[in-house]
Structure 1
Amino acid sequence: MKVLIGAAGAVIGLIVLAVLVTVGVIADDDAFATEASDGGGGLQGVPAEFREWILKADSACKEPAMAPALLAAQLYQESKFKTSPEEATSAAGAQGPAQFLPSTFATWGRDDDGNGRVSLWDIGDAVMAQGRMMCSLLKQAKTSGYPGDVRALALAGYNAGWGRVEQFRGVPPRSFAGGETYNYVQVILSTMTRFQGPGLLQVSGSGAGADALRKAATRMGTPYSWGGGTPAGPSTGFCDGTNGYLGGKCSASSTVGFDCSSLVQYAYWPKTKLPRTAAAQYGATSDRPVSRDSLKPGDLLFWSHGSTASIYHIAIYAGSGNVLHAPRTGRVVELAPLTSAMPETDYVGATRP
């Protein structure tokens, strides 16, 4: 989200209107040269509807400094991947998931999703415009001769306007605009690793199970949040006196993510509308059991403390002896061997929705 800053004789720039001071990022002055390590082309923890466009935007840019995780971290900082006018409109009029002012979007926007309109609210149009603008800024940063990581310079240009980068011959210092641009750059570079990963799990075949597994795989790296997650995506959860705590504090209430059963519900929705809890999901599918030697991608696996009446965990079979699941507080959606995902003695069986 951006606001305009005016100063006599200075170039008007765009800065983030955000509560970055609450992030608590403390960096050395040379951090911009060290935080943006190359994470390769992998991407994780990104909503499925954003993933394909981030990868397309990255592919369209030939600048070596561009990376999917860079675009993902920037989008997360700008809008948390939100797409509604209520959640993705700033007080200064920046709009959409990439937080463009309409005047800026007019330069970079195209009908990339082919729906007959050019809109900063369309995910495809917004992300591709973000990619084009960042690609251009990376080129400028590379040829500018200014010190520091070119990604830091490009992010500063996206946030405050390239004129501010020229004014300060680098990333604007902490003293500029209360540190807004400095913090914006630092937060994005330091959170890139959250989105760097091995990429989308490769799933062969078709059908409801394979499709559900593909969808769930786009959420790899998403934090576990007890009680969090809905058919629409991750959300904050809650603590119930026993679950959701980390280090003696309620982690779930401030963590946007999934628990084991909400991930499964999200994966199969809306084609198959499974109930919310692992026990209820077992009840809804137990009439279609699958033996362990007949498992297929997308099958549901259950663990219990003694009987089917006390099921406590569910996972999705991912093939090759692995499962995809949200294991517990403090962990993320991940792949794990079936034999060690949960205690082997607690394994109840599998079903096919």
Structure 2
Amino acid sequence: MKTLIKAAAAVVAALLLAVTALVGMVLIDDEARATEISDGGGGLRGVPAEFRPWILRASKECSERELTPALLAAQLYQESGFQTSRARATSDKGAQGPAQFIPATWATWGRDSDGNGEVSPWDIGDAVIAQGRMMCSLLKDAKSSGITGDPRALALAGYNAGWPAVLRFGGVPPASFAHGETYRYVRIILGLMPRFQGPGLFSVSGSGDGADAVRRAADRMGTPYAWGGGGPNGPGTGFCDGTNGYLNGRCSASSTVGFDCSSLVMYAYWPSLHLPRTAAVQYGATSNHAVSRENLKVGDLLFWSHGGSSSIYHVAMYAGDGNVIHAPRTGKTVSIVPLASAMPSSDYFGATRP
């Protein structure tokens, strides 16, 4: 979002308070494309895994139904191509980060949304939640303004050029304004939305610790797998042990923020039940409540082994309707898959109820 420069200094000052900066359309490079996911869910698909939970959260926190995950994703793609490096996500007008905030606007909308102790437009969580918060406010402005037209278009124009520009023109600024940048910005984003529109949000029926745990895990769909990574407080970087954590010959786990199979289960249940860290020990802690495959309930733990309880190598959670939710392996993301194909059927060891 390149800052609009007006002839009069007073107009510039007014716009700076409401404007992030204009940016041209950018394409995702090979590195970013390698982290895309396509499994959908939550009305979202095709975004880098590290952005997914924040986009879903930003949409969920807004009471305006127009702020869908696909709209936010299309806007982020247009703003920065999901770039997060300072070299690639800094505009020539000073806009910063994946959501391209200029400092004056960031001062209004920025918060420490990811809880890392820093308020930064370079933090994915901080940037995306601020983007959602600002867009939500602009949608409310659009609906209460009396201006006719798609409120999404009006809000996008306000994000791009500042709300005063929308009021000045009584709608999306025309192609003659700012060399058509705002006009094209709105059209491009609305046109990109189908690319990011995924299946509906995964829903879990029932109540209790098991159902709540699966819902908590489902909120992390799309989070990358990281061997040894993650814990009760959320995803984290992992490590390589000589055998596990490698992708294409390099240690992927040490630079990936994510979960492995047992840390996802630990995280999902932690608010109500403190399960141990590894799959084998989780089995040992819950094996006194064994469950047959025919009597599975949502939240039950399922285990796979190379032979005996001491060789358990994977754990997943039953998600209902013959499906499980799990963090499968390096190179994959938290996902919901059929139980029958989650892991080799010959390795299925049994299920327990925490």
Q: 1:25 to 1:340 in 2, by over 3 A?
A: closer
1:261 aligns with 2:262: yes
- Residue equivalent to 1:325: 326
- Inter-partner Cα distance in structure 2 for 1:192 and 1:232: 32
Matches within 5 A, 1:151-170: 157-158=158-159, 161=162, 166-170=177-181
1:280, CA displacement in angstroms?
A: 1.7
1:246, CA displacement in angstroms?
A: 2.0
- Inter-partner Cα distance in structure 2 for 1:343 and 1:41: 28
Q: 1:280 to 1:204 in 2, by over 3 A?
A: same
- Residues 161 and 182 in structure 2, CA contact (< 8 A), matched pair in contact too: no
1:302, CA displacement in angstroms?
A: 0.5
Percent pairwise identity: 53
3-state SS of the aligned residue for 2:297? Answer: coil
- Inter-partner Cα distance in structure 1 for 2:4 and 2:306: 59
**1:60-88 deviation line (CA, Å, top 9, x unaligned):** 33xxxx53232367688448993437333
- Residue equivalent to 1:82: 113
Q: 1:329 to 1:96 in 2, by over 3 A?
A: closer
- Residues 290 and 353 in structure 2, CA contact (< 8 A), matched pair in contact too: yes
- Inter-partner Cα distance in structure 2 for 1:278 and 1:40: 26
- Residue equivalent to 2:137: 132
User: TM-score scaled to structure 1, two decimals?
Assistant: 0.64
- Inter-partner Cα distance in structure 2 for 1:230 and 1:74: 31
Q: 1:223 to 1:90 in 2, by over 3 A?
A: closer
- Inter-partner Cα distance in structure 2 for 1:246 and 1:255: 11
- Residue equivalent to 2:276: 275
> How many residues end up aligned between the 2 structures?
288
Q: 1:350 to 1:332 in 2, by over 3 A?
A: same
Q: 1:331 to 1:136 in 2, by over 3 A?
A: farther
Q: 1:82 to 1:217 in 2, by over 3 A?
A: same
- Inter-partner Cα distance in structure 2 for 1:328 and 1:4: 44
- Residue equivalent to 1:124: none
User: TM-score scaled to structure 2, two decimals?
Assistant: 0.64
Which residue identity does 1:329 align to in structure 2?
T
- Residues 40 and 67 in structure 1, CA contact (< 8 A), matched pair in contact too: no
- Residues 303 and 313 in structure 1, CA contact (< 8 A), matched pair in contact too: yes
Which residue identity does 2:119 align to in structure 1?
A
Which residue identity does 2:130 align to in structure 1?
Q
3-state SS of the aligned residue for 2:351? Answer: strand
